[in-house]
């Protein structure tokens, strides 16, 4: 049945009204002010609604308003909505979506999309009707960082696959995509001053396939595509460990001047840059300079995880030198939790992933330095964990993670002693040792990533599994319509009726 309580992530505040709004062939999408950015947001909403309705949905300036229109407007009347919140009024005579900043209109448009029946996601004309119950909504995110990480190093994924993943992230109001661009098995981004990194380092992958890499033009296009959907791309070059691909590409980077063979297995912790060689820091300065130039966002992720092949004192000195190089290129350093062994600059960001005392201690040490922490506990957010022992993809070193377990936690209570003020948000890593195709990514990511999106966006109050699992079930027909190969967890009452 028609309800406003169907959105993921859960809406912050909903007041049901009388009657309903019907989207008809006469509807227009109007924007105020008529700026390129607002027309682009209105245009993206039109693109989402045109295929299944068959309606023209012309874009036009916001006055005069005509009954039946969808009206998007920036107003400074409501600064309490912040930079990503919005207010949505659904009435018989039209939809009015207002926000303090354009991102809020983009997120309100995702809500309008989800308030329409699942059939709206079909790419061919459906019978309708296209009705939404009347009511008013005020919605704004809880955390600033609502992210997903995609490992394109273990297995390479095409620009089109990454764009498709971005489309799904945007639909659930995520706003960060962390790309794990380099590891032992592959280097995936062209660096013009060290061309063999991509040519040789990008020429294989786990299992021995031919791998691949993004040219700087392709990467810039991905950054643009993501930004148009209000997602900031965060590039990661993992170091000093997880560096076999770089070491295989340049003999001079190795202590003995001999390049190791390319690695196509799935072990970790065996490689290290030569932290005592000055060439290593000239190399990293070149790499990080080119990456910074490709990154309009403020962050460069330098990895830092599982540096078992680097002596700890050398590791600490290395992280402190690299942190300074990142700052010289006017970026903020992000690192996995191990970087908190070093003294961090206050603008640093630490990504927590090990849900054990040593991980908790590192996250709290980071907060002591004034750093912010992103929560990616492997037992909750690692999308490469198998759902259960029968899951054909993924690993289970952190345990099996079914849909309810992935949903039932809160970032502010997960790490003992970590102040809520130091929590930037949450991020769901998808490591691809066992994932080769987009269908593999979709199977591991959905439904769990939808729950993580809700943890990142929705208030903690009123967010609970028994309500969520019913809303989640109604997304099954949406994912079927979008061709998303999701895992039909037995924990949700999946519905089959696309009319819902
Ligand atoms: N740990 C490694 C990843 C990946 C992962 C697979 C981190 C930070 C195990 N590092 O998670 O490279 O191999 O689950």
Task: Specify whether the CB–CB gap between 244 and 192 falls below 8 A.
Answer: no
Residues 181-210, mean pLDDT to the nearest whole number: 98
Task: Provide the 8-state DSSP code for 389.
Answer: T
14 alpha carbon – ligand 1 mean position (Å): 40
Cα dihedral 125/129/130/132 (nearest 10)? -160
Q: Is 454 a catalytic residue?
A: no
Alpha-carbon distance 230 to 170, whole Å? 7
Domain boundaries along the sequence of the chain? 13-139, 145-465
Chain centre to alpha carbon of residue 282: 31
**2: pLDDT confidence band, cut at 50, 70 and 90?**
confident
Binding-site residues, ligand 1, Cβ < 6 A:
268, 305-306, 336, 353, 382, 384, 395, 431
Distances (CA, A) of 101 to 82, 85, 106, 123, 499: 8, 8, 9, 30, 33
**What average pLDDT score do residues 480-495 get?**
96
The per-residue pLDDT for range 339-385, each reduced to its tens digit, is 999 999 999 999 999 999 999 999 999 999 999 999 999 999 999 99
pLDDT in tens, 133-191: 999 999 999 999 999 999 999 999 999 999 999 999 999 999 999 999 999 999 999 99
Atom of ligand 1 nearest to the CA of 351: 8
pLDDT beyond 80 at 1:
no
pLDDT band, residue 498 (cuts 50/70/90): low
Where would I find the beta strands (DSSP E) of 140-217?
145-151, 176-183, 186-187
Please tell me if the domain spanning 13-139 has the same topology as the one spanning 145-465: no
Let me know: does 479 contact 13? Beta carbons within 8 Å. no
Strands (E), 75-220: 86-91, 94-99, 131-139, 145-151, 176-183, 186-187
Can you tell me the mean pLDDT for 194-213?
98
pLDDT of residue 3: 85
Q: Which whole number is the average pLDDT over 207-217?
A: 98
Instruction: Write the pLDDT tens digit of every residue in 119-133.
Output: 999 999 999 999 999
For the domain made up of 145-465, give the CATH fold: TIM Barrel (3.20.20)
3-state secondary structure 290-349: HHHHCCCCCEEEEECCCCCCCCHHHHHHHHHHHHHHHHHCCCEEEEEHHHHHCCCCCCCE
Pocket test for ligand 1, best of 181, 239, 243, 306 (most atoms within 8 A of CB): 306
Which residue of the set 34, 306, 320, 347 is catalytic? Answer: 306
Q: How confident is the model at residue 413 (pLDDT cuts 50, 70, 90)?
A: very high
* Weakest-pLDDT range from 52-66, 93-107, 236-250, 321-335: 52-66
Write down the architecture of domain 13-139 according to CATH: 2-Layer Sandwich (3.30)
Share of the chain above pLDDT 70, in %: 99
């Amino acid at each position: 049945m028609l309800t406003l309580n169907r959105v993921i992530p859960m809406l912050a505040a909903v007041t049901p009204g009388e009657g309903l709004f019907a989207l008809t062939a006469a509807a227009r999408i109007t924007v105020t002010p008529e700026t390129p950015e607002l027309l682009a947001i209105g245009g993206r909403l039109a693109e989402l609604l045109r295929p299944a309705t068959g309606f023209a949905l012309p874009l036009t300036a916001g006055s005069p308003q005509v009954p039946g229109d969808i009206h998007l407007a920036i107003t400074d009347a409501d600064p309490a909505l912040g930079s990503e919140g919005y207010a949505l009024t659904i009435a018989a005579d039209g939809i009015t979506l207002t926000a303090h900043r354009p991102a809020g209109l983009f997120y309100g448009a995702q809500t309008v999309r989800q308030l329409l029946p699942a059939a709206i996601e079909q790419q061919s004309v459906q019978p309708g009707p296209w009705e939404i119950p009347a009511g008013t909504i005020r919605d704004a995110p809880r955390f600033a960082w609502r992210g997903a990480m995609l490992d394109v190093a273990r297995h390479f994924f095409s620009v089109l696959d990454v764009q498709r993943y971005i489309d799904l992230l945007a639909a659930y109001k995520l706003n960060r995509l962390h790309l794990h661009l380099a590891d032992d098995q592959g280097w995936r981004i062209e660096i013009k001053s060290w061309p063999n990194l991509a040519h040789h380092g990008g020429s294989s992958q786990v299992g021995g396939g031919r791998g691949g890499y993004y040219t700087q033009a392709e990467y810039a296009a991905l950054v643009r595509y993501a930004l148009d959907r209000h997602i900031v791309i965060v590039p990661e070059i993992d170091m000093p460990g997880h560096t076999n691909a770089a070491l295989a590409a340049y003999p001079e980077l190795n202590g003995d001047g001999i390049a190791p063979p390319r690695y196509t297995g799935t072990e970790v912790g065996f490689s290290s840059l030569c932290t005592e060689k000055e060439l290593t820091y000239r190399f990293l300065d070149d790499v990080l300079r080119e990456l910074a130039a490709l990154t309009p966002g403020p962050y460069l992720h330098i990895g830092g995880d599982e540096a078992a092949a680097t002596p700890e004192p050398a590791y600490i000195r290395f992280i402190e030198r690299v942190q300074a190089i990142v700052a010289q290129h006017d970026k903020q350093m992000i690192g996995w939790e191990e970087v908190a062994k070093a003294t961090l600059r206050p603008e640093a960001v630490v990504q927590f992933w090990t849900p054990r005392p040593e991980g908790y201690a590192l996250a709290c040490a980071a907060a002591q330095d004034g750093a912010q922490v992103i929560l990616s506990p492997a037992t909750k957010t690692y999308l490469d964990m198998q759902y259960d022992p029968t899951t054909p993809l993924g690993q289970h070193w952190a345990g099996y993670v079914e849909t309810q377990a992935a949903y039932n936690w809160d970032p502010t209570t997960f790490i003992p002693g970590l102040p809520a003020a130091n929590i930037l948000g949450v991020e769901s890593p998808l490591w691809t040792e066992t994932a080769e195709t987009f269908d593999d990514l979709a199977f591991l990511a959905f439904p769990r990533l939808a729950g993580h999106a809700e943890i990142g966006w929705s208030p903690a109050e009123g967010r609970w599994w028994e309500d969520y699992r019913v809303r989640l079930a109604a997304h099954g027909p949406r994912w079927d319509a979008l061709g998303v190969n999701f895992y039909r967890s037995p924990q949700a009452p999946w519905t089959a009726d696309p009319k819902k």
